Amino acid sequence: MLGQIATRLIPQHLLFFRKLEVHALVSIVVSCVLRVAGGIATANTLA
């Protein structure tokens, strides 16, 4: 009984954590891209 519950819950938790990881990676990439774009924009305005 407990084994069945565990096998049902564990994949859901793994999927949830995987979604969180993907979300974190996406936000990091977006922030890096925005920083680079901002740096290029400021460099262009200064030049």
What one-character-per-residue DSSP string does 1-47 give? -HHHHHHHHHHHHHHHHHHHHHHHHHHHHHHHHHHHHHHHHHHHHH-
Q: What is the pLDDT of residue 46?
A: 83
Each domain of the chain, given as residue ranges in start order, spans 16-47
Neighbouring CB atoms inside 10 A of 47's CB total: 5
Question: Model pTM?
Answer: 0.59
Mean pLDDT, the chain cut into blocks of 10 residues (47 residues total) = 80 88 96 95 86
Q: What is the pLDDT of residue 6?
A: 79
Handedness of CA 30, 32, 36, 39 (dihedral sign): positive
Q: Alpha-carbon distance 47 to 45, whole Å?
A: 5
Q: What is the pLDDT of residue 27?
A: 96
Q: What is the pLDDT of residue 3?
A: 83
